[in-house]
Structure 1
């Protein structure tokens, strides 16, 4: 491997100062993401050495040039979108080059039911553009204002809209353009089942430069906060609403008290000592939802009419991992888990957890469809005491059949994917020197 000084000069000569950056402030800024959501990751990554250089390509040719250069000099390359991930996805564990793709932000095509996008398009911009054309994004994370489409596909899984359309693997990516890291990088056009090796891959199996996603017809959304005397009532209501195919919805997010008390902008409209369910439902269906809430002992506490959608702070700004963010603003000792409960026994599982941990664990669920099935996913808040205690809690969840997708690791094998055998094989094929975001996937060369 060439010395830093040698390859830096060569890289600047090859790509120029408009693409290549070496100043410390930029390297430090673009070598971090939102890993501080996890006290475990924060402790391990806060002093991590920044990248040795940053490349900000403007097109695919420059992406290929960076990858070929890194291959030639055996320099690691870590891809980055907007850096809104929570697991250290964009942190270069072994230095090298951070490949920031945020400048590749053109909307290439919007057709009937699809959008073809460069990877750096921000989801908020895409949704606004799609809605102006009578369509909308099907699923997106709570960070959609900042998050890029490539970052979401490469580092996310689901979000708002998943109650109707499922996760990224459920047909929410139609096609992708991916570059390999070889002497001469290949441009691959990937579709169908092959996409599974690139969704939620942290850029370890290839660099995604273009994504085609499905669009849904534009819907006018009403935002609602339903309130219930008990969390059990809120969950029963949420399950019934999730299963009701006649009520078009985008969000069902129940939370036990005191979680809603952390949402300070909503303090005037959220009632004390009540479980809250954050909802987005199609305009015109509020009466049906209100009747359903009343049948489970609840009521509609707050409504934001459809004409105010995106014009004021919305209920989705307090859901998914934004729930965690608001909680951490109130109490810095809070962190979170990602858990999959069983539809047929989630009440029993919740009861066991409460008996074991009390208010050390606070429930926050997101109802989704996964593989077409209604599923109660959970992002519980946990008062952090120590790493040992955190993994005691994780161990107990797993002992009663609750699946944990560990958000306190940067390793794909232990985190959001669970099974990465096919991805490992793809990495060997597309990244023969193991230079793409090394350390994020365990495999043998």
Structure 2
């Protein structure tokens, strides 16, 4: 009587060695992301065992085959794009199969005002292609070069461009193709508010294989650094610019000194002991922005024209969570928070936090639009002393009305996202055995 095949042998027989990998190097490499931004997550996840196997599908049919196989054998499946997330999204907490979708990298259609792509297309490639067609992507993370479109939609929220176009929930995803994890996986085409169950879901409610995103007309962008004698004046300038509808912009990122001192490639262009605001504005609007900066006691200390856009390191490479990365390169004891401030009282909240914690917390803000409102969001740097001290800072911020989206947890419920309840309900339908990226949404199967 022939010996029964193991599941590992069965899946190789089903899909072949070109699609399935079991070698240690591949499993370890693809079972990680950038969770080391958080000392809390680094401590808890760095010893996590890698996936038992890796799937690298090239088509929707192969994605469906992996999901059906996992369902049959009750094997967890954790999806990943480029692995640039910061919260352990791509870490397989329960082992099983990591499904890397980076081979699904076809730009399927560039239309008038939209792009339809496979989930593994890198944002930088999409933007280059769109700009050649007279358009550009609307929002993107600071990991633009490496990050995939599907990874950004499934693990991100906002980014460069959010000052004009908002976050992912503000119409920046038009449609998605989703596969469920059932005996026979269903192919769902999702649009409208139904998309909310699949944006920032870590692949827990379904596997996104294709996504359609809106495009904006191509703009020629100038990059600037405005500098101010005080951080508060830089914030007020940022607010005024954010609300100025006559200035088309892509980025307004104020940060207090010494944060700009961490940006070694730009250090010769940055004046010491001054707050800095990293800016991207449409070409031809420098005089208006310079006059506005001067009205708040500031000046433009650095300007790069559109002819060098994407040809050298850009100011956006020092914003959003790349600010944290540059800071950590200088001082490994630094980590960060994600915070939403009160648009009507952000200066008062800043003062209270500085009075309480001084330079233990260093401010870095991004002015964005959310739900149509101009909002001061922050990615403040924190000198990490202990987990207890970190959560003391978090609890104090929350006590004065600053909303913290905790970046030191892999659990969606703890990240402060309002859509988790709906995701739980969707997960029960699309993933009845609870096998999609288990441990990221806490609920009873």
Q: Normalising by structure 1, what TM-score?
A: 0.99
Question: Which residue does the alignment assign to 1:15?
Answer: 15
Q: Are the equivalent residues in 1 in contact too, given 2:196–2:419 (CA < 8 A)?
A: no
1:271 equivalent in alignment to 2:271: yes
Could you list the runs of 5+ residues in structure 1 that have no partner in the other structure? none
C-alpha offsets along residues 135-177 of structure 1, whole Å, 9 cap, x if unaligned? 0000000001000000000000000000000000000000000
Q: Distance in 2 between matches of 1:372 and 1:129?
A: 29
Q: Are the equivalent residues in 2 in contact too, given 1:412–1:418 (CA < 8 A)?
A: no
Question: Which residue does the alignment assign to 2:152?
Answer: 152
Q: Distance in 2 between matches of 1:280 and 1:235?
A: 16
Residue 316 of structure 1 and its aligned partner are, at CA, apart by 0.1
Question: Which residue does the alignment assign to 1:367?
Answer: 367
Question: Which residue does the alignment assign to 2:249?
Answer: 249
Please give the secondary structure, in 2, of the residue aligned with 1:347: helix
TM alignment of 1:314-329, pairs within 5 A: 314-329=314-329
Q: Distance in 1 between matches of 2:216 and 2:95?
A: 41
1:386 equivalent in alignment to 2:386: yes
Q: Distance in 1 between matches of 2:48 and 2:415?
A: 20
Q: Are the equivalent residues in 2 in contact too, given 1:137–1:216 (CA < 8 A)?
A: yes
Residue 443 of structure 1 and its aligned partner are, at CA, apart by 1.5
Residue 178 of structure 1 and its aligned partner are, at CA, apart by 0.1
Q: Distance in 2 between matches of 1:334 and 1:167?
A: 26
Q: Are the equivalent residues in 2 in contact too, given 1:407–1:416 (CA < 8 A)?
A: no
Between the two proteins, the alignment pairs up a number of residues equal to 443
TM alignment of 1:31-430, pairs within 5 A: 31-415=31-415, 417-430=417-430
Residue 417 of structure 1 and its aligned partner are, at CA, apart by 1.6
Q: Normalising by structure 2, what TM-score?
A: 0.99
C-alpha offsets along residues 17-61 of structure 1, whole Å, 9 cap, x if unaligned? 010000000000000000000000000000001000000000000
Q: Distance in 2 between matches of 1:50 and 1:444?
A: 25
Q: Distance in 2 between matches of 1:310 and 1:242?
A: 23
C-alpha offsets along residues 382-416 of structure 1, whole Å, 9 cap, x if unaligned? 00000000000000000000000000000000115
Q: Distance in 1 between matches of 2:37 and 2:283?
A: 35
Q: Are the equivalent residues in 2 in contact too, given 1:178–1:207 (CA < 8 A)?
A: yes
Q: Distance in 2 between matches of 1:323 and 1:427?
A: 34
Q: Distance in 2 between matches of 1:415 and 1:260?
A: 28
Q: CA RMSD in A?
A: 1.0
Residue 444 of structure 1 and its aligned partner are, at CA, apart by 2.0
C-alpha offsets along residues 91-124 of structure 1, whole Å, 9 cap, x if unaligned? 0000000000000000000000000000000000
Could you list the runs of 5+ residues in structure 2 that have no partner in the other structure? none
Please give the secondary structure, in 1, of the residue aligned with 2:241: helix
Please give the secondary structure, in 2, of the residue aligned with 1:266: helix
Q: Are the equivalent residues in 1 in contact too, given 2:197–2:419 (CA < 8 A)?
A: no
Please give the secondary structure, in 1, of the residue aligned with 2:413: coil
Question: Which residue does the alignment assign to 2:25?
Answer: 25
| Large movers: runs of 4+ above 4 Å | none
